[in-house]
Amino acid sequence: MKTLDAKTRIQLNNILFATDFSPAGAAALPYAASLAKHFGANLFALHVRTPVINPMTPPSGWPALEKAAEEEERERRESLRNSIPGVPITILIEEGNIFANLRAVMQRKAIDLLVIGTRGRSGIGKLLLGSAAEEIFREATCPVLTVGPHAPAEPNRSGEFTRILYATSLGSESAAVAAYAISLAQEYQAKLTLLHVLEDPKGANFIVPQELVESSARRLAELVPPEAEFWCAPDCCVERGDVAEKILDVAKNRETDLIVLGVHQPSGVPGAATHLAIATAHKVVSHAHCPVLTVRG
């Protein structure tokens, strides 16, 4: 994944939409199509199916199974193309392990953005909202746009993001991820909010809360370089409380249509896969009323 800085505008050349071909899995397709159209990107759709033939299938039944699979594949391809008229799409249907296929396709097609719908509790939706989310983040060498169960079925009428919220723990990777949020805000001329949530301190009575709030606000402001200020004057917001709940509250109150979170290569203690805890990312994706973009630092 190419790292952005505040001087570099985001470029999406190849977008991958992963689907299980269910109505739930298709939730993110309009967003993938809108982004591909806006950036002039190549759009790919990936479906990883279970093998048509398994060891328990007698050879006499193979031809009928293969023919049925071919017909189903033809119908699915046609349905997918018809659902986004005017947007060219290359459909890839593979067999085997979903993560291995995701990794291979992202590398082979130089994917810049992975788009996933999670409206249902099956297929990729179930994986992303369950214990395998960490593996999705690990396998994705590019940012991931997740359209959760409460997000609108389609982008707004203009197809553009107008209010973007970047929630950060102010860790070492915050500046790199902020560059994506800033670049998207520039690309769409969107209103940008930078948010840091202070969890209620435990055993930290020596810290004066107001001083900590002011310090956090300054650090948020420092994420926006001087050269970006002439077109991007973000709001810097510091809240206290439960991290996921505050992110969701701020997003709702500000009518946000895109939330940006940072993730990093999982290592060490399970559950430490994101700048904010992985449980926080799960909760935000599950309950947000807009798509969530996770960017790996």
- pLDDT single digits (tens) 95-112: 888 888 888 999 999 999
* Residue 270 binned pLDDT confidence (cut-offs 50, 70, 90): very low
Q: What is the per-residue pLDDT for 217?
A: 92
pLDDT score, position 175 = 87
Among residues 147, 179, 213, which one ends one of the domains?
A: 147
Per-residue pLDDT at 192 exceeds 70: yes
Above 90 in pLDDT, residue 289? yes
Q: Is residue 156 part of a domain?
A: no
Beta strands 163-167 and 258-263 are: parallel
Q: Is residue 6 part of a domain?
A: no
Of residues 17 and 278, the one with the higher pLDDT is: 17
Q: Do 113 and 171 fall into the same domain?
A: no
- Residue 120 forms part of a structural domain: yes
Count structural domains, the chain: 2
pLDDT tens, position by position, 128-149: 544 445 566 566 778 999 888 8
Last-in-domain residue among 147, 177, 211: 147
User: What pLDDT, on a 0 to 100 scale, did the predictor assign at position 225?
Assistant: 81
The residue range of the domain holding 224 is 163-296
Average of pLDDT values for 54-64?
Answer: 70
Same domain? 183 vs 134: no
Does 204 share its domain with 127? no
Inform me whether the pLDDT recorded for 124 exceeds 60. no
Structure token pair of residue 1: 């994944």
User: Residue range 42-46: average pLDDT?
Assistant: 95
Q: Which residues pair with 262 in a beta bridge?
A: 295
State both tokens at 219: 């650090």
For the segment 221-241, the average pLDDT, to the nearest whole number, is 80
Tell me what the mean pLDDT of segment 8-16 comes to: 86
The reply to whether 155 falls in a domain is no
Could you tell me if 105 and 176 lie in one domain? Answer: no
Of 147, 176, 194, the residue at which a domain comes to its end is: 147
Most confident of 45-59, 162-176, 245-259, 283-297: 245-259
Q: 275 and 172: one domain?
A: yes
Residue 264 above 90 pLDDT? Answer: no
Same domain, 44 and 76: yes
pLDDT digits (tens, 9 = 90+) for 154-167: 887 777 899 999 99
Tally Cβ neighbours within 10 Å of residue 245. Answer: 15
Q: Same structural domain for residues 58 and 97?
A: yes
**Are both 119 and 236 inside the same structural domain?**
no
* Residue 28 belongs to domain with CATH number: 3.40.50.620
- The amino acid present at 297, given as its one-letter code, is G
Clarify whether residues 139 and 170 are in a common domain.
Answer: no
Does 188 lie in the same domain as 84? no
Rounded mean pLDDT, 199-224? 77
Model pLDDT, residue 74: 80
Q: Are residues 187 and 263 both part of a single domain?
A: yes
